[in-house]
Amino acid sequence: MAESGSLPTGFSELEVLAVGTVLLVEALTGLCLNSLTILSFCKTPELRTPTHLLVLSLALADTGISLNALVAATSSLLRVSRRRWPYGSEGCQALGFQGFLTALGSICSSAAIAWGHYHHYCTRSQLAWNTAVSLVICVWLSSAFWAALPLLGWGHYDYEPLGTCCTLDYSRGDRNFTSFLLTMAFFNFFLPLFITLTSYRFMEQKLRKTGHLQVNTTVPARTLLFGWGPYAVLYLSATVTDVSAISPKLQMVPALIAKTVPTINAINYALGREVVHRGIWQCLSPQRSELDRAQ
């Protein structure tokens, strides 16, 4: 459908351009903020800690989501001029895999950070390097495993309603789709969300007893619910009803919301911390940082 010579069903040319513009803004913002996070980690010795390794994993995943959004934004502009998906069916499968891999990496990295914070504040001990590395490896191996399954026949990647990006094909209500989606949703959305909620809840209780509640314990879980909850609702509704009854514009809303997650995560986990601010300042002003160290 997306490779035909007409605009996608339910969208005008102006609407395609509008969605493409929104995606472009989301992509560039997420890329800039997460690139600063990655650069500060690589250039600043103070940030090379096990806890910040988990944040680096999240920044890498969110950079991948932003790159996926950039491809979708470019495709939106090309759809207006060429009236077709520019990368072919193989490009759709590759983009679907990349987008799903980085989305799962972002969700699971957020859960790993939540557990890392719980470990730090509740045990009063630093996260060990071998634990942090093991967590990161598990996050990406698990994400790659689930993202590869649609390529192997369990699940399927297809065009989103706008025809400018590819994701899980939720229009198929067959047993193959339903079994994959329910299993994937449990292990890659509800389980990470449960880990995030319980980790911060226990941490909040511990810190309240000591009178040192200095960490925002609600934003991470709310980010997961806000960013990925609409996708979960859409996918789960597709297992019990015909999604063709939902307008194509409404089906695009979860994708647009999810593309804001890299920006929110960068502000919440990295750019909102003073040590990262110093790291970014050192990266952007190397001469000034050398003078500060000399003094």
Given a cut of 60, whether residue 287 has pLDDT beyond it is: no
Q: What is the pLDDT of residues 185-200, one digit of tens each?
A: 999 999 999 999 998 8
Given a cut of 70, whether residue 141 has pLDDT beyond it is: yes
Element (H, E) at 159: strand 157-159
The token pair that represents 182 in the structure block: 């329910």
Given a cut of 60, whether residue 294 has pLDDT beyond it is: no
Q: What is the pLDDT of residues 203-223, one digit of tens each?
A: 877 777 766 656 666 788 899
Q: What is the pLDDT of residues 220-249, one digit of tens each?
A: 889 999 999 999 999 888 888 888 888 889
More confident residue, 212 or 11: 11
In this structure, are residues 85 and 92 in contact, taking their beta carbons and an 8 Å threshold?
A: yes
Report the Cα–Cα distance between both ends of the chain, in Å, rounded: 64
Read off the DSSP letter of residue 149: H
The answer as to whether 279 is a domain residue is yes
Q: 109: pLDDT confidence band, cut at 50, 70 and 90? A: very high
As for how many domains the chain has, the answer is 1
Mean pLDDT score of the chain, rounded to an integer?
85
CATH number at residue 263: 1.20.1070.10
The token pair that represents 85 in the structure block: 């998906």
Q: 84: pLDDT confidence band, cut at 50, 70 and 90? A: low
List own/partner pairs for 231-240 with CB under 8 A and 24 or more apart: 231/255, 231/258, 232/185, 232/189, 234/170, 235/168, 235/170, 235/181, 235/185, 236/181, 236/182, 236/185, 238/170, 238/171, 238/173, 238/177, 238/181, 239/173, 239/177, 239/178, 239/181, 239/182
Q: 1: pLDDT confidence band, cut at 50, 70 and 90? A: very low
The answer as to whether 8 is a domain residue is no
The answer as to whether 1 is a domain residue is no
The token pair that represents 266 in the structure block: 């960068």
- The reported pTM is 0.90
List own/partner pairs for 171-177 with CB under 8 A and 24 or more apart: 171/238, 171/243, 171/244, 173/238, 173/239, 173/242, 177/238, 177/239
Mean pLDDT throughout 144-162?
92
Q: Which of 105, 125, 122, 108 is nearest to 51 (CA)?
A: 125
Flag the least confident range among 70-84, 93-107, 185-199, 209-223.
Answer: 209-223
Give the separation between CA 160 and CA 179, rounded to whole angstroms. 21
Q: Give me the pLDDT at residue 215, please.
A: 61
Q: Which of 258, 230, 257, 273 is nearest to 113 (CA)?
A: 273
284: containing domain: 13-292
Q: Give me the pLDDT at residue 207, please.
A: 73
The token pair that represents 57 in the structure block: 């994993």
Read off the DSSP letter of residue 8: P
The residue length of the chain stands at: 295
The answer as to whether 234 is a domain residue is yes
In this structure, are residues 43 and 279 in contact, taking their beta carbons and an 8 Å threshold?
A: yes
The answer as to whether 150 is a domain residue is yes
Give the separation between CA 79 and CA 139, rounded to whole angstroms. 35
Q: Give me the pLDDT at residue 216, please.
A: 64
The answer as to whether 4 is a domain residue is no
- Say how many C-beta atoms besides its own lie within 10 A of residue 237's C-beta: 14
Given a cut of 50, whether residue 295 has pLDDT beyond it is: no
Give the separation between CA 113 and CA 51, rounded to whole angstroms. 7
